[in-house]
Amino acid sequence: MENRYFQKEFETMPVEDIKKLQDEKLVKQVKYVYDNVKYYRDLMDEKGVKPEDIKSTADLHKLPFLKKDDLREAYPYGLLATDLKNCVRIHSTSGTTGKRVVAFYTQHDIDLWEDCCARAITAAGGTSEDVCQVCYGYGLFTGGSGLHGGSHKAGCLTLPMSSGNTDRQIQFMMDLNSTILCCTPSYAAYIGESLKERGYKPEDNKLKAGIFGAEPWTEEMRQDIEKNLGIKAYDIYGLTEISGPGVAFECCEQNGMHINEDHFIAEIIDPNTGEVLPEGTKGELVFTSLDKEAFPLLRYRTRDICVLTRKKCSCGRTFIKMAKPMGRSDDMMIIKGVNVFPSQIEAVLLNKGYAPNYQIVLDRVNNSDTFDVYVEMGEEDFSDSPKYITKKEKELQDAMKAMLGINPKLHLVAPKTIARSEGKAVRVIDNRRRYGITI
Ligand code: DLL
């Protein structure tokens, strides 16, 4: 596919120029935040840092971090940097625990955010010839509005479906010839499954690309979705606090997401010590916004674990790439003392030919963790022979033990018995919270 850019002058900027641009913008953004956000000014004063101390990105490490707890503490207006009358939109995180986090946007912030989403859609091949079906949720969640705005800017015909009502999604997809699908990867997998159930083959739809994100997904899941829908599946990353989807997006190489470095600086830190780690090292991703008016965040700790690398990319983009997040530091389960990420379990399943329909249930019995994994059998290999099921369970359990170092109790269940998700999938049910255990 020919490489297409939405804003070539930025997306392919020489690395030295990106650095220069970041240096200039950072100095301004820090002063802006210090002058307008008391909460962060207090953090800087506490650390003894003044805006004048930040002369370039080399000084970034001097600034204090912001954490999700700060955003909760400052809820709702404590980190707002401009008068409310200058704001035109509010979004909120999809978190289910604790106080929600709200983010504010001026029209300028919305414009930059939509540009980022348009870059993602254009990189996936989106043009004015395309019909872009947006089935991320619309509303407080940023997925729907972000990709919707990006689709407009990229010139696509936009189908604002929002999430859910899979029958209607499929009807419109087929009747209106959707070519680009935007949703969570788990919903894309479900749409693929539903199309198959209705007797459609991958070549029956006009889809060519999917832009999937908002939750961790594996390479194996990508291959599955690509095969079932007959498309190229591109990853997109973002978070409400920093704007929404489009902070980073995949290009035709499909091996990591370019971070929109003209708007955000990314760092990787050691989640325990806060020390900045060199490129290529796994750690927690931290973002600093460079252009935001309403809700600028400096050194915001995402809790997402990943790796950054800056290698020459065949797409021509020069922005640094982030690997697929390997889960969040807070999604990491500690089971019997072992760190386990849901993505590891998913990788084993897909490797062994299972669909990524699974649920992990954690509990505590006699002061010891229990670890159950429920996995759906496919229609093709479904059997109610106990002997067959036990054999298959054992096989899968051994593969998981090899990957994780601990043994889950594996339960193969009948097809379609694990609830599907139209938004972010619920993979883990941690009943240990009942006993006040929050790990
Ligand atoms: O999920 C924004 C978004 C919408 C991104 C649509 C992509 C597509 P939040 O609800 O605030 O925002 O959740 C942000 O989701 O910190 C990651 O842990 C996770 N996440 C987002 N994209 C990816 C991805 C949106 N591509 C949190 N891979 C982030 C893995 C992702 N995790």
Q: Which helix (H) or strand (E) holds 351?
A: helix 342-351
Q: Atom 30 in ligand 1: which residue has the minimum CA distance?
A: 216
DSSP for 25-57 reads HHHHHHHHHHHH-HHHHHHHHHHT--GGG--SG
Please give the pLDDT value at position 17. Answer: 98
Tell me, yes or no, whether 429 and 357 share the same domain.
yes
Claim to verify: residue 247 and residue 139 sit in the same structural domain:
yes
Q: Which pLDDT value is given to residue 94?
A: 58
Give residue 394's domain range.
Answer: 334-435
Last residue of a domain, one of 326, 354, 382: 326
Residues 73 and 157 occupy one common structural domain: yes
Nearest CA to ligand 1 atom 9: 239
Same domain, 317 and 358: no
Q: Is the CB of 234 under 6 A from ligand 1?
A: no
Ligand 1 within 6 A of 408 CB?
A: no
| Together in a domain, 218 and 107 | yes
Count of domains observed in the chain: 2
Do 283 and 373 fall within a single domain? Answer: no
Q: For residues 305 and 423, state if they share a domain.
A: no
Cα 207 to averaged position of ligand 1 atoms, centre (Å): 23
Alpha helices in 162-283 (DSSP H): 166-175, 185-197, 219-229
Cβ of 236 below 6 Å from ligand 1 = yes
* Interval between CA 102 and ligand 1 midpoint (Å): 15
Q: In the prediction, which pLDDT does 420 show?
A: 86
Whether 266 and 339 map to the same domain: the answer is no
Residue that terminates a domain, selected from 326, 342, 372: 326
* Pair 357, 320: CB distance under 8 Å: no
> Does the residue 351 lie in any domain?
yes
239 lines ligand 1 (CB under 6 A): yes
One-letter amino acid of 219: E
pLDDT at 439: 46
Mutate to test the pocket of ligand 1, among 147, 264, 304, 424 (most ligand atoms within 8 A of CB): 304
Q: Give domain status of residue 3, yes or no.
A: no
CB 233 within 8 A of CB 226: yes
Q: Give the nearest ligand 1 atom to 303 CA.
A: 16
Supply the CATH number for residue 85's domain.
3.40.50.12780
Same domain, yes or no: 372 and 317: no
Listed in sequence order, the residues at least 6 apart from 167 whose beta carbon sits closer than 8 Å to its beta carbon are: none
In a domain? residue 364: yes
Q: Are residues 389 and 302 in the same domain?
A: no
> Which residues make Cβ contacts (< 8 Å) with residue 207, sequence separation at least 6?
173, 178, 179, 180, 181, 229, 230, 231
Task: Specify the pLDDT at position 32.
Answer: 98
Predicted local distance difference test score (pLDDT) of residue 335: 84
Residue where one domain finishes, among candidates 279, 306, 326: 326
- Write the pLDDT tens digit of every residue in 404-426: 888 999 999 999 899 888 888 88
Which domain CATH number covers 413?
3.30.300.30
Q: Is 407 found in the same domain as 277?
A: no
pTM of the predicted protein model? 0.87
Smallest CA-to-CA distance from 331 within 71, 97, 72, 141 is with 97
How far apart are the CA of 247 and the centre of ligand 1, in A? 10
CA 225, 231, 237, 240 torsion-angle sign: negative
Are 31 and 171 contained in the same domain? yes
Q: Is 245 in the pocket of ligand 1 (CB under 6 A)?
A: yes
Residue 40 domain-assigned (yes or no)? yes
3-state class (DSSP) for residue 424: coil
pLDDT at 88: 98
**Largest interatomic CA distance in the chain:** 72
pLDDT < 50: residue spans in the chain: 96-97, 438-439
The span from the first CA to the last CA of the chain, in angstroms, equals: 45
Task: State if residue 89 touches ligand 1 by the CB under 6 angstroms criterion.
Answer: no
Residue at 79 is within a domain:
yes
